[in-house]
């Protein structure tokens, strides 16, 4: 079984919306807002008439980019809901995403919520605001500059989203490789130390490079309708932890996603395989990967590298955005 054409279309649409909404919010940050401009107009009748709650709500709307309130968006989402309910037989949109075991970015989920309320999608159908580059950076989980202390960021809010893959995005880099020892936090608040080597420019590295923490390639096939995912290293995983199993074909930025699902680890055979709680939905080959999912980055140490080095940590998107 593979992701269907409609699956890829729906996920790609949601990924695009997430990117567009994040960009809009970033653009609207800063500057002098409507309320402040009215309040500073030095005309009391004007200020009293127009600066009240309407001005406050308008400023908030620009920062929220409430696309889900557009009539055209509402009409489109109603058609999408009709497709998954009438044509596919799911109870609602949330049941579709949960049944397919795929997720969309929180920014895209906000559009659905603006349209149909906060409970239209379950948190398990949503991953945290993911990094999509400097213009749309997502939720900052922490940062490190060479020779400095780790700066903590936010944690993923499990009341709104589910745990997510985490990436390190290079914001500055010197010639030498830079080794990071990163402490990641699982949903049960247990931690795991991961080592990631950030390539310097002398080793082909560049600003903007990203590294998904703990990513593990399959070292054998994993068939649908069974639970075992073969991997050569298991130290970064834990029983009860959610993972993203994913596979694509083609080269960036033109990958085609073949299969993907969120699963929960039931048992681990050390450095051999992960056994999931439920049978897999899809087939995977040695071109597939398993990503451990986390809620925070607690700390980061370093060795090697040089004074130019800097990195930031963000949730990773379940799929590369298709713009």
> Helix axis angle, 106-116 relative to 71-82, nearest 10°?
100
Pairwise CA distance, residues 42 & 280, whole Å: 66
Alpha carbons 105 and 153: distance in angstroms, whole number: 19
Longest dimension (CA), the chain: 74
Q: When comparing pLDDT for 113 and 30, which is higher?
A: 113
Q: pLDDT digits over 248-275, tens only?
A: 998 877 788 999 999 999 999 999 999 9
pLDDT digits (tens, 9 = 90+) for 131-154: 998 889 999 999 999 999 999 999
pTM for the full predicted model: 0.94
**pLDDT of res. 67:** 97
User: 323 pLDDT exceeds 70?
Assistant: no
pLDDT of 289 reads: 98
Residue 294 confidence (pLDDT) above 80: yes
Q: Where are the alpha helices (DSSP H) in the chain?
A: 5-28, 34-39, 44-50, 53-64, 71-82, 93-100, 106-116
Q: What is the mean pLDDT of residues 59-73?
A: 95
Q: What angle do CA 59, 65, 70 make, to 5 degrees?
A: 110
Please state, as a whole number, how many other Cβ atoms lie within 10 Å of the Cβ of residue 286: 13
In angstroms, how far is CA 207 from the centroid of its own chain? 20
Question: Residue 84 and residue 145: Cα distance in Å, rounded?
Answer: 46
Beta-carbon contacts of residue 31 (< 8 Å; ≥ 6 apart) = none
Contacts of 133 (CB under 8 A, 6+ apart): 208
């Amino acid at each position: 079984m593979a992701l269907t054409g409609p699956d890829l279309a729906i996920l790609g649409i949601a990924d695009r919306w997430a990117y567009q909404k994040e960009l809009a919010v970033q653009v609207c940050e800063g500057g002098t807002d409507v309320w402040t401009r009215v309040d500073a107009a030095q005309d009391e009748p004007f200020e009293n008439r127009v600066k009240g709650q309407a001005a406050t709500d308008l400023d908030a709307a620009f920062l929220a980019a409430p696309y889900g309130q557009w009539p055209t968006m509402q009409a489109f989402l109603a058609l999408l809901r009709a497709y998954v309910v009438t044509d596919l037989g799911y109870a609602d949109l949330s049941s579709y995403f949960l049944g397919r075991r795929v997720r969309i970015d929180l920014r895209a989920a906000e559009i659905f919520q603006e349209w149909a309320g906060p409970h239209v999608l379950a948190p398990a159908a949503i991953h945290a605001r993911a990094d999509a580059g400097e213009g749309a950076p997502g939720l900052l989980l922490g940062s490190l500059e060479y020779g400095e202390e780790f700066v903590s960021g936010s944690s993923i809010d499990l009341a709104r989203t589910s745990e997510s893959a985490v990436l390190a995005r290079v914001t500055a880099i010197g010639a030498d490789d830079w080794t990071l020892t990163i402490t990641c936090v699982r949903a049960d608040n247990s931690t795991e130390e991961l080592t990631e080597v950030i390539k310097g420019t002398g080793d082909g590295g560049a600003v903007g490079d990203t590294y998904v923490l703990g990513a593990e390639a399959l070292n054998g096939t994993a068939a649908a309708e069974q639970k075992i995912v073969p991997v050569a290293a298991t130290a970064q995983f834990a029983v009860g932890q959610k993972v993203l199993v994913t596979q694509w074909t083609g080269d960036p930025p033109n990958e085609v996603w073949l299969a993907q699902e969120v699963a929960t680890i039931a048992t681990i055979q050390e450095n051999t395989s992960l056994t999931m709680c439920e049978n897999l939905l899809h087939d995977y080959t040695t071109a597939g990967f398993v990503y451990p999912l986390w809620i925070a980055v607690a700390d980061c140490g370093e060795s090697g590298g040089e004074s130019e080095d800097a990195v930031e940590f963000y949730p990773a998107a379940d799929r590369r955005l298709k713009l």
